[in-house]
Amino acid sequence: MTTSDKQFDSQFDKVENLVHYPWIGCNYASAPKRVLIMGDSHYTVNDEGEFCPEEYDRCVTDKEYTRGIINCAIEEGSWKFHTNLQKTFLDESDMDVEGFWNKIASYNFIQEPMKGTHEVPSLAAYETAWKCLADVVQIIKPDVCIFVGLRNDKGMNILDEKGVKYSIQTLDEKINNSYPKKGELQFADGNKLPFYMIHHTAQYYSPQLWYDFLNKEIPEVVSFLDK
């Protein structure tokens, strides 16, 4: 079974409000391109989409929760979020799913679990997410970040408190009835992190169209992930 690299965990423990350890692929630290892929939120609901208090409690108390979800996705391929993400970067005729996750880092942006499938995170939740991300990035030093979801730019101005400069723009390229975004975080130590926001992979999503977009923007990253 594939497991997350835990070499950064002691540093993650010091990140305020970071509920779950990020998934760190076993080959991430040595990768020629360090890629961080940000999910959206954990939804603590049952198979009928109804709030599940037991799952919520497990989610907020288990720091390995995200890693467990990704392990399950690797072994069982249960959720569209993961399968469509994998199809975006991997050749469907020869998909090395385990190899893909071994190369990347990933965690869910919003730290507070959602209690319903249609629940929307609060502005405060986005602000907390950005502050957590700023700290996580300083630990794992990714070269590029890809957000799955186009609404995650909310609350970015909280980065002023962290001394992080930022820029973001919506691109004039309509894909799946939405427009991708790109931007950059600039840290006080000079480190810069380019990022992209793409349509959420869970629904109304075409892996091929978003592959084409990302391959145009960051071809070296796309090529590396599909090796």
Answer yes or no: is 76 within a domain.
yes
* Percent of the chain at pLDDT exceeding 90: 91
Answer yes or no: is 117 within a domain.
yes
Q: What is the pLDDT of residue 1?
A: 64
Q: What is the pLDDT of residue 79?
A: 83
pLDDT at 217 over 70: yes
pLDDT tens readout for residues 185-211 = 999 999 999 999 999 999 999 999 999
Answer yes or no: is 17 within a domain.
yes
pLDDT at 77 over 80: no
Pairwise CA distance, residues 113 & 110, whole Å: 7
Answer yes or no: is 4 within a domain.
no
The three-class DSSP label of residue 194 is: strand
- CATH number of the domain enclosing 175: 3.40.470.10
Pairwise CA distance, residues 91 & 68, whole Å: 25
Answer yes or no: is 45 within a domain.
yes
The three-class DSSP label of residue 200 is: coil
pLDDT tens readout for residues 11-33 = 999 999 999 999 999 999 999 99
Domain extent at residue 158 = 9-225
Q: Domain total for the chain? A: 1
The count of other CB atoms within 10 Å of the CB of residue 34 is 20
In what helix (H) or strand (E) does residue 61 lie, and over which residues does it extend? helix 53-61
Q: Which of 191, 202, 2, 210 is nearest to 108 (CA)?
A: 202
Answer yes or no: is 25 within a domain.
yes
Pairwise CA distance, residues 208 & 189, whole Å: 37
Burial label for 213, CB within 10 Å (0-12, 13-18, 19+), is buried
Pairwise CA distance, residues 35 & 145, whole Å: 6
Answer yes or no: is 115 within a domain.
yes
Q: How many residues can be counted in the chain? A: 227
pLDDT tens readout for residues 101-126 = 999 999 999 999 999 988 999 999 99
pLDDT at 78 over 80: no
Contact 127, 16 (CB under 8 A): no
Q: What is the pLDDT of residue 10?
A: 98
pLDDT at 34 over 90: yes
Q: What is the mean pLDDT of residues 45-66?
A: 95
Answer yes or no: is 189 within a domain.
yes
